[in-house]
């Protein structure tokens, strides 16, 4: 809560019928056994997605953003560090005002046991960049989310407030540990060359939940983000029942003047499970700065551009123009003929015309008898893309928009076999979809326990014993069961069942007394060493940056199975050939039930079309696991599909019986 002055307000709830993105729907056994599936028509969509207009931030635009934010900081007598990025995460300016605090401290554990990234000192520039990237990455032409929105959806209860204890966790619980500086998907800063501006770029701290970060728009098109650090605290807001008088948020909001998110797509217009999300507790009417703001007048006077190692200012800091999203130079562009069958699909590129993650066959021939073929990986991506293009979006405006997501397929070694996305899918889902696919394959595989036990971190290795004791299964994590991200997420919450106060924590989570968004459990333990190494590089304490390989687990041929980290909110399923694991599919970018459905039905349809592979046999799915809690038993969940999810049919329970 950051100790700031607050004004009491009521939590607004939606009385309208909505599609929940954090549970419910699907009915029946949610992809379990039993029943005869009702055929669901799968017509080819008759309309294509519209690609965003080619807008971008110019040098003058970036200067205007910085000048407005600095003027507001001066009016509030609070020197700030201000960062601006483009849509794919390129840092375009970092401006440090004279007297701004050098560092910030992350929130500590409730009981004082500071673990993982809790109570960590971070450079203010790193916090500002993370906030700017979060505003840009979580947003699209159909939704505008801020770091305050992020805070609301990553807490142990949703909506977060003292009076909501007992409710489930936020729908994107764990997303803060994505876009990590060690991610092999994320591109890294280069000062020049054809790859200099390709994205998605990494974030020094993952995604931020500290208010003070917003997206930037031009003509309704998201073109970047602004992030502000000024108060020395990098935290989150656990209570949405009041309104914060947050100077950082006002300073960042001032930076959006002239680049405001369209009001009709702001988070405050988007309901989730009966609750409207929060966009900002600051209002434009509350800004203090008056008069014209000029970058030339402040640069070198009230502050200066400063370099940030690994992100900005090599050889010298200067204001940069943003990349045009959708261009080759941005690293995210329309698929070429031969790269993917759908002309409205986008892929990741290296800036020189080459697809960074082309569709290919599995690399795990030494581990499985018949790896996924190129044709099979193609079919999975095509069918999942088709399901997406028929699906009703849950987090986009206007209502009845098509869902927009990123889809990733991996083999059992976690190697990407193809990544495709819709034109306007939020950028954050690119890294997250790969995390989800890898997480499903990893926890479903026979190497999960042995990889974790062989970790260089005793903390990481200890989670195997915790899981086996919790599940009363000494053979847990050896390939006996198929785990989705929803099932793994059940075990990664500080309460089990999710949200129920007084229950034990899941075996992959920290106990609630040690928990906050900077320490989630196994997820954070896997990457905390990488984060520490990277921050040492950023500050100059270390000459070596973290490699493009996250997680303290062994490698196979120089790579590991979860090398951009794991993810613990729904949207993935493992891929099987009979009862043999051959890979995973991950989906991210819309509501979590939609992500579940696209991965589950996309794989089912691909298996039906090609033959020889598909979803896990019903008897192997994690929803067969019943956890004994003494007076009751609780089953894990496998997938959860929404009711009436399609725009072209009124079919219900579309995942039942599959």
Chain-centroid distance of CA 406 in Å reads 11
CB half-sphere exposure, 66, CA atoms < 13 A: 34
Do residues 93 and 239 share a domain?
A: yes
Tell me the two tokens of residue 563.
């090398």
Establish if 484 belongs to a structural domain. Answer: no
Question: What is the average per-residue pLDDT within 339-353?
Answer: 95
pLDDT tens-digit series, residues 377-410: 999 999 999 999 999 999 999 999 999 999 999 9
d(CA 270, CA 149): 11
Q: Which of 138, 133, 141, 156 is nearest to 22 (CA)?
A: 156
pLDDT tens-digit series, residues 69-85: 999 999 999 999 999 99
Q: Let me know whether 273 and 159 are in one domain.
A: yes
Percentage of residues in the chain having pLDDT higher than 70:
93
What secondary structure does DSSP assign to 430-483, as a single string?
A: HHHHHHHHHHHHHHHSTTHHHHHHT-S-HHHHHHHHHHHHHHT-TTTTSSSSB-
Strands, E, within 91-241: which ranges?
Answer: 91-97, 103-106, 121-123, 213-218, 221-229, 233-234
Q: What is the pLDDT of residue 154?
A: 98
Structural domain containing residue 158: 58-328
Q: Are residues 150 and 288 in the same domain?
A: yes
Evaluate if residue 18 carries a pLDDT over 50: no
| pLDDT digits 0-9 by tens, 134-154 | 999 999 999 999 999 999 999
Q: Minimum mean pLDDT among 17-26, 156-165, 383-392, 604-613: which range?
A: 17-26
Domain count, the chain: 2
What count of other Cβ atoms lies within 10 Å of the Cβ of residue 96?
Answer: 23
Q: What are phi and psi of 487, to 5 degrees?
A: -65, -45
The residue count of the chain comes to 658
Alpha-carbon span 563 to 478, nearest angstrom: 20
Angle at 193 between CA 191 and CA 197, to 5 degrees: 65
Domain-embedded: residue 537: no
Strands in 580-588's sheet, in edge-to-edge order, are 332-334, 346-348, 416-421, 406-410, 580-588, 572-577
Residues 287, 413 within the same domain: no
- The angle at the Cα of 499, spanning 495 to 501, to the nearest 5 degrees, equals 70
Q: What is the mean pLDDT of residues 112-128?
A: 96
- Do 391 and 271 lie in one domain? The reply is no
513-560 pLDDT, tens digit per residue, is: 999 999 999 999 999 999 999 999 999 999 999 999 998 899 988 899
Phi, psi for residue 277 in degrees, rounded to 5: -70, 165
C-beta neighbour count of 344 within 10 angstroms: 17
Confidence of residue 356 (pLDDT cuts 50, 70, 90): very high
User: How distant is the alpha carbon of residue 509 from its chain centre?
Assistant: 18
Mean per-residue pLDDT over the chain, rounded: 92
Q: β-pairing, 233-234 with 221-229? A: unpaired
Residue 492 lies in a domain: no
Is the entire prediction scored with pTM above 0.85?
yes
User: Do 312 and 353 belong together in one domain?
Assistant: no
Question: What whole-number percentage of the chain has pLDDT above 90?
Answer: 89
Residue 22 lies inside a defined structural domain of this protein = no
How many C-beta neighbours within 10 Å does residue 175 have? 28
Let me know if residue 509 belongs to a domain: no
Within a domain: residue 463? Answer: no
271 part of a folded domain: yes
Same domain membership, residue 175 and residue 255: yes
Cβ–Cβ contacts within 10 Å for residue 301, how many?
Answer: 11
438 and 575 Cβ atoms separated by less than 8 Å: no
Residue at 221 is within a domain: yes
Write the CATH number for 263: 3.30.450.150
Q: Are 87 and 427 in contact (CB under 8 A)?
A: yes
The helix-helix angle for 59-75 and 247-255 (nearest 10°) equals: 150
């Amino acid at each position: 809560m950051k100790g700031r002055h607050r004004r009491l307000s009521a939590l607004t709830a939606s009385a309208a019928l909505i599609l929940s993105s954090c549970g419910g729907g699907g009915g029946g056994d949610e992809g379990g056994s039993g029943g005869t599936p009702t055929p669901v028509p799968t017509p080819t969509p008759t309309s294509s997605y519209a690609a965003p207009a080619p807008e971008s931030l110019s040098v003058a635009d970036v200067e205007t953003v910085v000048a407005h934010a600095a003027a507001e900081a001066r009016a509030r007598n609070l020197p700030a560090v201000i960062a601006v990025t483009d849509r794919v995460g390129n840092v375009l300016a970092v401006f440090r005002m004279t007297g701004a605090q050098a560092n910030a401290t992350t929130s500590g554990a409730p009981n004082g046991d500071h673990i993982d990234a809790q109570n960590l000192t971070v450079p203010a520039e790193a916090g500002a960049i993370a906030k700017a990237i979060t505003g840009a990455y979580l947003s699209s032409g159909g939704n505008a989310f801020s770091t305050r929105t992020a805070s609301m959806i990553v807490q142990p209860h949703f909506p977060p407030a003292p009076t909501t204890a007992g409710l489930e966790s936020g729908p994107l619980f764990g997303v803060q540990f994505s876009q990590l500086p060690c991610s092999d998907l994320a591109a890294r800063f280069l000062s020049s060359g054809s790859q200099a501006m390709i994205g998605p770029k990494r974030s020094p701290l993952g995604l931020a939940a500290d208010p003070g970060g917003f997206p930037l728009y031009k003509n309704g098109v998201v073109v970047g983000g602004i992030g502000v650090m000024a108060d020395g605290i990098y935290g989150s807001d656990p209570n949405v029942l009041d309104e914060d008088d947050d100077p950082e948020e006002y300073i960042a909001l001032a930076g959006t003047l002239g680049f405001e998110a369209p009001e009709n797509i702001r988070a405050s217009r988007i309901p989730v499970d009966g609750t409207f999300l929060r966009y900002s507790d600051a209002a434009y009417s509350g800004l203090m700065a008056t008069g014209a703001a000029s970058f030339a007048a402040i640069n070198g006077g009230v502050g200066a551009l400063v370099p940030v190692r690994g992100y900005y200012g090599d050889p010298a800091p200067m204001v940069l123009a943003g990349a045009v999203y959708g261009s080759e130079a941005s690293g995210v562009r329309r698929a070429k003929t031969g790269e993917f069958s759908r002309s409205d699909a986008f892929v990741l590129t290296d800036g020189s015309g080459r697809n960074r993650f082309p569709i290919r066959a599995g690399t795990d021939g030494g581990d499985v008898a018949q790896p996924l073929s190129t044709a099979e990986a193609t079919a999975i991506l095509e069918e999942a893309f088709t399901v997406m293009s028929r699906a009703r979006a849950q987090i986009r405006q206007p209502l009845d928009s098509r869902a927009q997501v990123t889809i990733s397929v991996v083999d059992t070694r976690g190697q990407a076999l193809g990544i495709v996305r819709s034109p306007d899918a939020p950028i954050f889902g690119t890294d997250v979809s790969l995390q989800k696919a890898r997480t499903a394959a990893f926890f479903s595989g026979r190497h999960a326990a042995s990889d974790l036990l062989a970790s260089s971190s005793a903390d990481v290795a200890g989670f195997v014993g915790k899981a086996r004791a919790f599940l009363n299964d000494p053979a847990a994590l050896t390939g006996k069961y198929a785990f989705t991200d929803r099932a793994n997420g059940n075990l990664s919450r500080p309460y089990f069942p999710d949200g129920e106060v007084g229950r034990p924590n899941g075996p992959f989570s920290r106990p609630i007394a040690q928990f906050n968004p900077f320490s989630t459990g196994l997820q954070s333990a896997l990457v905390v060493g990488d984060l520490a190494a990277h921050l040492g590089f950023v500050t100059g304490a270390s000459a070596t940056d973290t490699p493009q390989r996250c997680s303290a687990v062994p490698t196979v041929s120089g790579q590991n199975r979860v090398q951009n980290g794991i993810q613990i909110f729904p949207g993935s399923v493992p891929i099987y050939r009979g009862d043999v694991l051959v890979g995973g599919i991950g989906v991210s970018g819309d509501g979590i039930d939609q992500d579940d459905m696209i991965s589950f039905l996309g794989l089912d349809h691909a298996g039906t079309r090609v033959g020889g592979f598909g979803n896990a046999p019903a008897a192997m799915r994690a929803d067969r696991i019943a956890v004994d809690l003494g007076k009751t038993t609780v089953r894990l969940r496998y997938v959860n599909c929404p009711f009436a999810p399609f725009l072209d049919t009124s079919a219900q329970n579309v995942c039942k019986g599959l």
